[in-house]
């Protein structure tokens, strides 16, 4: 039997990035998009162009630079949104898609939109027609589709397909659906919308994980005729997240018997690499016991299991860890490794970096190589992450000394370099005391930079194995007039990593202030 091809629509850069604290800058988004292309997703939803200049530019850059997948931009059923999405995906040419959405459920119609069914139908059709005036590939989503009256949903699907939508996506926006019921809904749409049953329009699903059922609901829909699944790497997304791409792909592959004639084109060997990159770029940690990509996903603790795996792996492993990209790491680099070796390894890891980027990373690599015996691929990924999240520095760390202990008042001496355009940098020094050495160092930084940040989130994790592992600190800092500003820093010394992460947030804050001032000074 010929396999039914399931289209994997990745929304890590749109719904995933909507997750609080997950925002990524342009370079981070581009790195993720390139990795998604290597993972061979079919569609990358790169953002919501009308939302901000940053989102517009990110979608446009992904459309211009990433080859292979279709590039989609999201839009409400509003002319200015659709126009912005069309402009942003234009560089992708025939691989561009506009994804238009409008809520259809009774609760959204009555309380959010204040519109009756016929008006919703009219707006949906107008939105799709406008999108089609720009591009052939148009997707429509009836938001809160799973809670929409099924008869009305059938009507909406028929109308938007007649208006030119090539894909209709049924979102379980609030994660309310149950697998059997959702499967039945998809089957009904499949049977009652002639273009779905004939295959001339694609039926898609987009499930949220509020009850932990996003993957189960998506797979139930596949069994009942869905041809596209919308998902995110590591399942990141609004609230409890979206269906996890790696779980969908591996379920289809591992249980081919159950999903008889369905397959997707994901290059599963790129899964772990994608998961780690997204985790690092979004600063969202992956739980240890997460299916497929968690540290424990293939770790057998009990003696009985270990014995069984040694005798025959399949006794306790339904997937081969190598098939999803575990255990592929190469020999670590050391301080003796040269510039060429580093450049080659970074290329092998999939990063596209300029010579000056590699030079800057080489400098940090040498500093770290002096402190730890081996520099692993994960350490390098952290260094790249630290480098590409950097904004032009106003302040850089020159010297840090801390005293701390259970009978000492924690004290930090910090010397910062203030970089001031063409003038020579200025060195300024301060001391601070605090509840602990991190608090003391951050207080000294506050005094030097005269920015009073409130540290609202702080995460420390070891990037690789060993007592000399690199520690990576991610922070979220609240400055008076700004939303949370993220920062990242890595070092073998966790106090230094903390100071670097905090300073990274301060520099972002100051840089953003400057660009806002420059922007508002424009005519
Ligand atoms: O969850 C949702 O309904 C969405 C739509 C925009 C597809 O993200
Ligand atoms: Zn969503």
**Ligand 1 atom closest to the CA of 208, numbered from 1:** 1
**What are the extents of the domains in the chain?**
4-282, 339-389, 395-521
In percent, the amount of the chain with pLDDT more than 90 equals 68
pLDDT, the chain, mean: 91
**Cα 201 to averaged position of ligand 2 atoms, centre (Å):** 21
For the stretch 35-49, pLDDT in tens is 999 999 999 999 999
What pLDDT does residue 180 have? 98
For the stretch 416-443, pLDDT in tens is 999 877 788 899 999 999 999 999 999 9
What pLDDT does residue 334 have? 87
Please check whether residue 233 is in contact with residue 16, taking contact to mean a CB–CB distance below 8 angstroms.
yes
CA distance from start to end of the chain: 63
**Ligand 1 atom closest to the CA of 230, numbered from 1:** 7
Residue 379, pLDDT above cutoff 90: no
Tokens, residue 182: 């959702």
| Selected residue with higher pLDDT from 500 and 312 | 500
Distance CA 351, CA 358 (A): 10
In this structure, the residue with its CA closest to atom 8 of ligand 1 is 15
Q: What is the homologous superfamily of the domain 4-282 according to CATH?
A: Aldolase class I (3.20.20.70)
Given 3.30.160.270, 3.40.1260.20, 3.40.50.1820, 3.40.605.10, which CATH number is that of 395-521?
3.30.160.270
Distance CA 99, CA 48 (A): 9
Please check whether residue 127 is in contact with residue 175, taking contact to mean a CB–CB distance below 8 angstroms.
no
What pLDDT does residue 424 have? 86
For the stretch 77-122, pLDDT in tens is 999 999 999 999 999 999 999 999 999 999 999 999 999 999 999 9
For the stretch 140-189, pLDDT in tens is 999 999 999 999 999 999 999 999 999 999 999 999 999 999 999 999 99
Please state which of the ranges 65-79, 239-253, 475-489, 506-520 shows the lowest mean pLDDT.
Answer: 506-520
CB within 6 Å of ligand 1 — which residues?
Answer: 15, 101, 141, 143, 169, 171, 173, 206, 208
Per-residue DSSP letter, 470: P
What is the 3-state composition of the chain as percent helix, strand, coil, each rounded to the nearest 5?
45, 20, 30
Helix, strand, or coil here: 475? strand
Helices 377-388 & 26-39 angle (0-180, nearest 10):
140
**Cα 168 to averaged position of ligand 1 atoms, centre (Å):** 12
**Cα 48 to averaged position of ligand 2 atoms, centre (Å):** 12
What pLDDT does residue 512 have? 72
Distance CA 17, CA 7 (A): 21
Which CA distances in Å does 210 have to 112, 174, 398? 21, 7, 46
What pLDDT does residue 520 have? 39
Distance CA 169, CA 429 (A): 57
**Cα 171 to averaged position of ligand 1 atoms, centre (Å):** 6
The neighbourhood of ligand 2, an ion, using CB within 5 A, equals 15
As a three-state string, the secondary structure of 90-128 is HHHHHHEEEEEEEECCHHHHHHHHCCCHHHHHHHHHHHH
For the stretch 329-375, pLDDT in tens is 567 888 888 898 899 889 888 888 889 999 999 998 998 888 888 88
């Amino acid at each position: 039997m010929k396999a039914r091809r399931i289209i994997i629509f990745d929304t890590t850069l749109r719904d995933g990035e909507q997750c609080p604290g997950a925002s990524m800058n342009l370079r981070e988004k581009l790195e993720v998009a390139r990795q998604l292309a290597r993972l061979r997703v079919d569609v990358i939803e790169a953002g919501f162009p009308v939302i901000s200049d940053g989102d517009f530019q990110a979608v446009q850059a992904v459309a211009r630079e990433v080859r292979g997948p279709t590039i989609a931009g999201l839009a409400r059923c509003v002319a200015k949104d659709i126009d912005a999405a069309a402009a942003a995906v234009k560089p992708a040419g025939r691989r561009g898609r506009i994804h238009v959405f409008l809520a259809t459920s009774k609760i959204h119609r009555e309380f959010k939109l204040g519109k009756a069914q016929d008006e919703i139908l009219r707006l949906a059709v107008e939105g799709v027609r406008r999108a089609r005036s720009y591009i052939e590939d148009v997707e429509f989503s009836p938001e809160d589709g799973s809670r929409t009256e099924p008869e009305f949903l059938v009507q909406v699907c028929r109308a938007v397909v007649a208006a030119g939508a090539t894909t209709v996506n049924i979102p379980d926006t609030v994660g309310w659906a149950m697998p059997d019921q959702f499967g039945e809904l998809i089957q009904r749409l499949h049977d009652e919308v002639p273009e779905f049953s004939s295959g001339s329009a694609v039926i898609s699903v987009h499930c949220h994980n509020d009850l932990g059922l996003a993957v189960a609901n998506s797979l139930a829909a596949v069994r009942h005729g869905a041809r596209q699944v919308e998902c995110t790497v590591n399942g990141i997304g609004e609230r409890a997240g979206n269906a996890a791409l790696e779980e969908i792909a591996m379920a289809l592959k591992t249980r081919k018997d159950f999903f008889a004639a369905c397959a997707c084109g994901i290059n599963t060997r790129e899964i772990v690499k994608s998961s780690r990159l997204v985790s690092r770029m979004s600063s969202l940690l992956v739980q240890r016991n997460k299916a497929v990509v968690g540290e424990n996903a293939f770790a057998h603790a009990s003696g009985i299991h270990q014995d069984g795996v040694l005798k025959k792996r399949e006794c306790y492993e339904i997937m081969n860890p190598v098939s999803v990209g575990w255990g592929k790491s190469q020999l670590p680099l050391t301080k003796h490794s040269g510039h060429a070796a580093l450049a080659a390894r970074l290329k092998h890891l999939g990063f596209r970096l300029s010579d000056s980027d590699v030079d800057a990373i080489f400098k940090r690599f040498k500093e770290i190589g002096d402190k730890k015996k081996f520099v692993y691929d994960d350490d390098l990924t952290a260094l790249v992450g630290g480098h590409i999240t950097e904004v032009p520095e106003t302040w850089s760390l020159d010297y840090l000394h801390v005293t701390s202990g259970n009978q000492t008042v924690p004290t930090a001496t910090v010397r910062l370099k203030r970089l001031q355009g063409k003038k020579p940098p200025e060195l300024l020094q301060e001391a601070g005391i605090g509840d602990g050495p991190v608090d003391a160092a951050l207080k000294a930084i506050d005094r030097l930079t005269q920015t009073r940040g409130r540290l609202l989130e702080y995460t420390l994790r070891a990037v690789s194995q060993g007592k000399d592992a690199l520690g990576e600190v991610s922070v979220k800092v609240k400055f008076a007039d700004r939303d949370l500003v993220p920062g990242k820093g890595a070092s073998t010394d966790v106090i230094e990593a903390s100071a670097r992460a905090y300073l990274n947030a301060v520099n972002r804050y100051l840089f953003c202030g400057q660009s806002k001032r420059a922007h508002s000074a424009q005519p």
